[in-house]
């Protein structure tokens, strides 16, 4: 094999490997096409929103005295029950359908993101100015 051909083949291999790595980094949810993929993406979005909520919740807890911590725990437990029950209701309009998990996942994610924003506002209000 000629050196020029060998160099060309190596270059082609390097470029195709780089392109394959870039394709793997692309968000699979951006092109979800099957209902299963969309259901998984909704679940992942909820998990990410819940992780953020937990971080922000811990920040607020760190700012509170013992009585306020107990009060916030009670509020949060009540809110979680409301969120879960509400999203069950929203998703149940698709009961028995394959898109029900997606609807429930996005509902949970949306409500969780809104709760995170509320807690962030409470943190801002409690910070000394």
Model confidence pLDDT, tens digit, residues 14-72? 666 656 566 566 777 888 888 888 889 999 999 999 999 999 999 999 999 999 999 99
Q: Which residue has the tokens 């801002």?
A: 124
Tokens standing for residue 55: 């971080």
- Name the nearest CA neighbour of 91 among 79, 80, 83, 102: 102
Written as six digits, the tokens of 113 are 């993101």
Q: Which two tokens stand for residue 23?
A: 């394709």
The DSSP call for residue 110 is H
State the pLDDT at residue 27: 73
What Å distances lie between residue 69 and 9, 26, 72, 75, CA to CA? 64, 41, 5, 10
In sequence order, which residues have a C-beta less than 8 Å from that of residue 40 and are 6 or more positions away? Answer: 32
Q: What torsion, rounded to 10 degrees, do the Cα atoms 50, 27, 43, 35 define?
A: 160
Mean pLDDT, the chain, as a whole number?
Answer: 88
The mean per-residue pLDDT over the stretch 80-98 comes to: 97
């Amino acid at each position: 094999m000629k050196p020029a051909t060998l160099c060309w083949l190596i270059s082609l291999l390097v470029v195709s490997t780089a392109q394959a790595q870039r394709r793997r980094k692309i968000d699979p949810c951006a092109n979800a096409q099957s209902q299963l993929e969309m259901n998984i993406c909704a679940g992942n979005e909820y998990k990410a929103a819940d992780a953020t909520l937990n971080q922000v919740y811990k920040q607020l807890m760190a700012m509170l005295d013992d009585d306020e911590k107990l009060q916030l725990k009670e509020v949060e437990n009540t809110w979680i029950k409301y969120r879960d029950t509400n999203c069950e209701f929203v998703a149940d309009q698709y009961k028995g359908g394959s898109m029900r998990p997606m609807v429930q996942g996005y509902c949970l994610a949306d409500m969780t993101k809104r709760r995170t924003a509320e807690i962030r506002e409470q943190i801002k209000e409690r910070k000394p100015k």
